[in-house]
Amino acid sequence: MWQTIEQMAPYAVGYTIPILAAALGGLFSERSGIINIGLEGLMVVGSFVGGISVYYFGPSMGNLRAAWLGILLAMAAGILFSVLHAFASINLGANQTISGTAINLLAGALVLYISRRFVGTGNIVVNSMTRVDIPLGKDIPIIGSLFLTDTYPTTWFVLAILLIGWYVIEKTPFGLRLRACGEYPEAADAAGINVARIRYAGVLISGALAGLGGAIYTVTTAGQSNGSVDGLGFLALAGLIFGQWRTFRVLAAMLFFGFAVTLAQISMLLPSFASIPPLALKVFPYVVTLLALVVFSKSSQAPRAEGREFAYKKN
Amino acid sequence: MVSICAILLGFVAGAVLMMTSSSNPLSGFMYLFQGGLKGVSRFCNTLAYAVPLMLTGLSVSFAFQTGLFNIGAPGQMLIGGIFATSLALTLDMPRVVMLAIVISAAIAGGTLWGAIPGLLKAKFNVNEVVSGIMLNWIAYWIVYITISDNFKSATIDTESQAIPGAASLREPFLTRLTGGSNLNLGILIALIATALVVFILAKTVMGYEMKAVGFNSSAAEYGGINVAKNAILAMAISGALSGLAGLTFYMGYSNNMRIGIMPSQGFDGIAVALLANSNPIGVLLSAFFFAILQTGKGFMNAMMPIPPEIADTIIAVIIYFAAASKLIEINMDRIKGFVLRRMGKAKAKKGGQ
Amino acid sequence: MEEYVVEMRDIVKSFGSLRANDNISLRLRKGEILALLGENGAGKSTLMSILFGLYKADSGSIFVRGSKVRITSPNVANELGIGMVHQHFKLVHNFTVTENIVLGLEPQKGISMNLKGAAERIRTLSQKYGLDVDPNAKIENISVGMQQRVEILKMLYRNADVLIFDEPTAVLTPMEIRELIAIMRGLISEGKSIILITHKLGEIKEVADYCTIIRRGKLVDTVKVSDATQQKMAEMMVGHEISFVIDKKEREPGPPVLTVENLSVKNTQGSLGLTDFSLTVHSGEIVGIAGVDGNGQSELVEAVTGLCRSEKGSITINGQDITRASIAQRIHKGISHIPEDRQKRGLVPDYTIEENMILEVYGQPPFSKHGLLNKKEIRAYARKIVDDFDVRSSAGVLSKAGTLSGGNQQKAIIGRELQKQPDLLIAVQPTRGLDVGSIEYIHKRIVEQRDAGKAVLLVSLELDEVLQLSDRIVAINAGRITGEILAKDADENQVGLMMAGVRGKGNPQS
């Protein structure tokens, strides 16, 4: 049993980190008051940019460098794409759920279009990043063998972002203002804060982080970009609800989902799971998500102003 | 008005994309429309393709009218489809009986899969978009495994066996009449469903309650309306409509179910509903329009190096602008004012002569 | 010529075709309390929002301490020393007092915020002005009166010299109002100047030096308060003579219609909002619930109408127990409810008037049969209500309810509720936000119900309304009855004490 978990850990973390990045992005957006259903589409954009970077630049600068370049470009692409959502939600007062859905559909279609046009196929295969062990750390009992061996470098990148993100939200003036915009923007407005600008920041950050998540997914776990991230963006959203919009709880939720998805993927190979019907294993992550939602949605601590109309005054 | 602008903007986006493929947008669109409309056979194919879109469009717009977003239409299509397909491939009865059975099965499957998000929302406040997506994937795998294990075609691994003629919505008479197109009895189902939806929403107590809940659930509750019951009922009906869409697609337009594909008509239904502003008649027209895009893209792709995903891209852009309709409305007034002033000036000039 | 600390000249502001401010001028001297008097919708809040930088005037000029200024945002107003205590507090519920006060002006230590230092400064300010506020408390845990003091602290933290109070006493008990007046006097003695937006004449007489009266966007006059009577100011506010007294004859109440026994109801936070509450309303009687907002009135009304469940106790209508009945069943038993929030509960804004008029009765004949609606009957019914209750709209019964003015929406709701000939009418804040003409009309109809033998339960936050309309007054505080008295024996002070929780004589539960 323990060995199984040990073997699963790198894969589980491999799933956790992309959705964690996306969820962090969603956190910034939603706590500023804008619902972002479009995380899935933003991840797709990131996944594509990451994949195509390795495809084009890999031969010249080596796969590893190309992957990191792809990750940075993916963040930029995510920011650009999320402007669409920000503009529709903030300037045009559109229904945020529909705007987010449009982003998802657009991303999926556009990515395949460009992919076919310029690469010739919708499916770009890349070599995954190599995994490393953390020196010294790997000898720590339990945690060492679970999380500090066989890790992707990108994992640590995202965890660093997690800590920075937590600090920004809870401890800085920007974070205070962001949270005010998400709970009761009228208070921020009366304090002379430009609510629209803060919300733009929230959405653009979500674009960057979701794009990051998608790129990491492609260059580590998935090994390909095919125009879809199989619902991971929605898992990230569910994780926000599961984690009640608090940074570290979201981390725990995403870890949980990471293990659930991994279980579904590799379980068919493990003898101990042979007796469980394959259908149950395949749908396990989705069912688990539903159950988590049922338990956690009722007493929701969602940012109160989320999705609510607000009159952005332009004196 | 808003819809037309959204469509135009979608085409502009499409034109830009076509140019990046080093193609002339005008030829691109010409082939697109030709592929969809030229000739009886193509026209009827487009019509047949539009049928599932009409039903998912009705489904999504029905949910919208009651304040809910049914993004689970693909899952409902799949479950409605698998219920119907399983029975079609297992039972052997006279045609009329088979048709009754598969229609009921599709409705049952769709209703079930639609009621679940409704129930979760009403009782547990679960966001129906996230639950809908989860159910889409669960349905995807249910179909995948059920067909792989039980109904796999002898020749192709990713398809189910062909649907026997008795159960299929295909009517040889129709097929011959329309030059070998896919037009089938589904069109009747779509028209009847539209009429029913119009009737329910406009004339019945049930429709009154559902719309009230959709517009202002607090006031509806105050008036004694059972909000939870109506939310679930609305999603159930919405699911039933998408279940029927699955029937018309898998057993009308096609002749089997393919696994490993999430039916795009489910998501296109959102575009159809938004474009039609949830008006049932508008849904019929809107569905036909989107069908043209989807059936024409193959022909266009054959004639020019434009990837077929352009159709989905155009559709997504249209949804985006339809959602952002406020911008168009705001500028509508400006445009109107501008036009009226110009006309006023012209009149004054004439009068002064 | 004395210098004015604030002067607004010829301010004009329109919203579309509505002229909210039509050439209004206003002057405030240092150390003075200026009252800004006007009916709901007269333009007072708009004018002050311009002064505070939330809106920009179309034309006109503002002078602060003699120099012309352009106030483009609340930040600019703050820098000029102008601060505003809003009617609807601009406080974030799950932030602390300190976080709310520093929002927008956060003190920094490196990249992070220095909240400890800010809390200290707030504590000092709080003591200096006698405000007694805990900097580390969370807003959702403190009382409304204290929340208001946080709003005041916000202004003092930003060194405001000119303080604008927007209808500050609407949410306070009579005792808290006296405390607020003392605080205001303290601020004046420290050199501040105050503009008080209000429609309460008694308070103006008590605390203001001057009073500027606005009617329908136009300036009527500015008077010295010591030279003017309440009657005179009221007439200037309304534009014609008004009588303060409602024409109501004595009447013997009949048998009980509504009986509430030992009712306990949970509030939205999960604790008991209403505890062991017992009440009887007889036919031909108006019982008024007097209390400050948030003391259990909402829980009482929601439990009786069925909008929420009760934890314990019983509710009976005409002898029938309805404690566990559904809302629809209670409507059938003859309960009508004029809700507190007409936008949220009272109407479906996207439905037409006729669709709204059948909101409770759509399922009954003749409005529907076998699940199908009978449009003809519905239209006739709606037309009758609109005629009887003088509901004005652009397209008659086919107008969307959301397009009606507040007063007409309220009349439509009242028409709908009264047309059902209920045995029990529950009226919550029936005249909130309405002009004097509509108020008079609605009061008249409510008294008519009572004269016709119906039972009326009136919940109002305006003590005057409760005193004038009720036959019997029940005071509520912290979810319990704190006093019961016949209206003809009651006076404002007595009831005020009861509302504040001081158990008074005539109280059957002491």
DSSP for A26-62?
A: HHHHHHTT---TTHHHHHHHHHHHHHHHHHHHHHHH-
* Alpha carbon distance C65, C62 (integer Å): 10
Closest CA to A104 of A22, A200, A197: A22
Of the candidates A99, A278, A287, which has its C-beta nearest B145's C-beta?
Answer: A278
Whether ipTM exceeds 0.90? no
Residue ranges of alpha helices (H) inside chain B are 2-20, 25-37, 40-65, 73-90, 95-124, 128-146, 172-177, 186-203, 205-215, 217-222, 227-248, 264-275, 280-303, 310-323, 325-352
DSSP, collapsed to helix, strand or coil, labels residue B182 as coil
Specify the pLDDT at position C285. 92
Give partners of C (≥3 CB pairs < 8 A): A, B
Residues in A closer than 8 angstroms to C104, CB to CB, are 177, 188, 191-193
Closest CA to C216 of C464, C23, C482, C496: C23
Residues in A closer than 8 angstroms to B144, CB to CB, are 282
Residues 205-244 of B with CB under 8 A from C: 205-206, 208-209, 211-212, 215-216, 218-226
Residue A207 has pLDDT above 50, yes or no: yes
- Give the fold, CATH level 3, of A2-124+146-297: ABC transporter involved in vitamin B12 uptake, BtuC (1.10.3470)
Terminal Cα distance for chain A, rounded: 64
Residues 353-392 of C with CB under 8 A from B: 355, 359-360, 362-363, 368, 371-373
How much is the average pLDDT of B292-314? 82
Distance between C34 CA and the closest CA of chain A, angstroms? 23
Distance between B129 CA and the closest CA of chain A, angstroms? 8
Q: Which two tokens stand for residue C363?
A: 């399922």
Closest CA to B280 of B61, B65, B74: B61
Whole-number percent of chain A with pLDDT over 70: 91
Specify the pLDDT at position C508. 45
Contact B69 A298 (CB under 8 A): no
Specify the pLDDT at position A145. 65
Residues in C closer than 8 angstroms to A176, CB to CB, are 95, 99, 102-103, 106, 113
Report yes or no: C509 at the A interface, CB cutoff 8 Å. no
Residues forming beta bridges with residue C369, ordered by sequence position: C372
User: What are the pLDDT digits (tens) for B216-257?
Assistant: 888 999 999 999 999 999 999 999 999 999 999 998 888 888
Q: Which residue has the tokens 């939603």?
A: A30
Report yes or no: C327 at the B interface, CB cutoff 8 Å. yes
Nearest CA in chain A to C53: A315
Q: Which two tokens stand for residue C454?
A: 């119906």
Q: Which two tokens stand for residue B330?
A: 């705001």
Residues in B closer than 8 angstroms to A88, CB to CB, are 320, 323-324
With cut-offs at 50, 70 and 90, classify the pLDDT of residue B344. low
Give partners of B (≥3 CB pairs < 8 A): A, C
Return residue ranges of chain C for CATH 3.40.50.300: 4-238, 255-334+422-510
- What are the domain boundaries of chain B? 51-282
Q: Taking the mean position of all CA atoms in its chain, how far away is CA B16?
A: 26
User: What are the pLDDT digits (tens) for A295-310?
Assistant: 888 777 788 888 787 8
Report yes or no: B199 at the C interface, CB cutoff 8 Å. no
With cut-offs at 50, 70 and 90, classify the pLDDT of residue A137. low
DSSP, collapsed to helix, strand or coil, labels residue C365 as coil
Specify the pLDDT at position B326. 54
Calculate the alpha carbon distances from C470 to B181, C243, C456, C464 in Å. 77, 17, 9, 10
Task: Describe the strand order of the beta sheet including C472-477 as a list of residue ranges.
Answer: C335-338, C424-428, C455-460, C285-290, C472-477, C480-486
* Alpha carbon distance C315, B47 (integer Å): 60
How much is the average pLDDT of C80-109? 90
Q: Which residue has the tokens 């990471």?
A: A258
With cut-offs at 50, 70 and 90, classify the pLDDT of residue B353. very low
Specify the pLDDT at position B274. 83
Residues in C closer than 8 angstroms to A190, CB to CB, are 54, 74, 84, 86, 90
Neighbours of A170 (CB within 10 A): 14
Report yes or no: C103 at the A interface, CB cutoff 8 Å. yes
Q: Which CATH superfamily is domain C4-238 in?
A: P-loop containing nucleotide triphosphate hydrolases (3.40.50.300)
Residues in C closer than 8 angstroms to B278, CB to CB, are none
Report yes or no: C345 at the B interface, CB cutoff 8 Å. yes
Distance between B216 CA and the closest CA of chain C, angstroms? 6
DSSP, collapsed to helix, strand or coil, labels residue C22 as strand
Distance between A238 CA and the closest CA of chain B, angstroms? 7
Contact A183 C93 (CB under 8 A): yes
User: What are the pLDDT digits (tens) for C1-51?
Assistant: 467 899 999 999 988 777 888 899 999 999 999 999 887 767 888 899 899
Entry pTM: 0.81
CATH of region C255-334+422-510, choose from 3.40.309.10, 3.40.50.300, 3.40.50.720, 3.40.50.11030: 3.40.50.300
With cut-offs at 50, 70 and 90, classify the pLDDT of residue B348. low
Distance between B209 CA and the closest CA of chain A, angstroms? 23
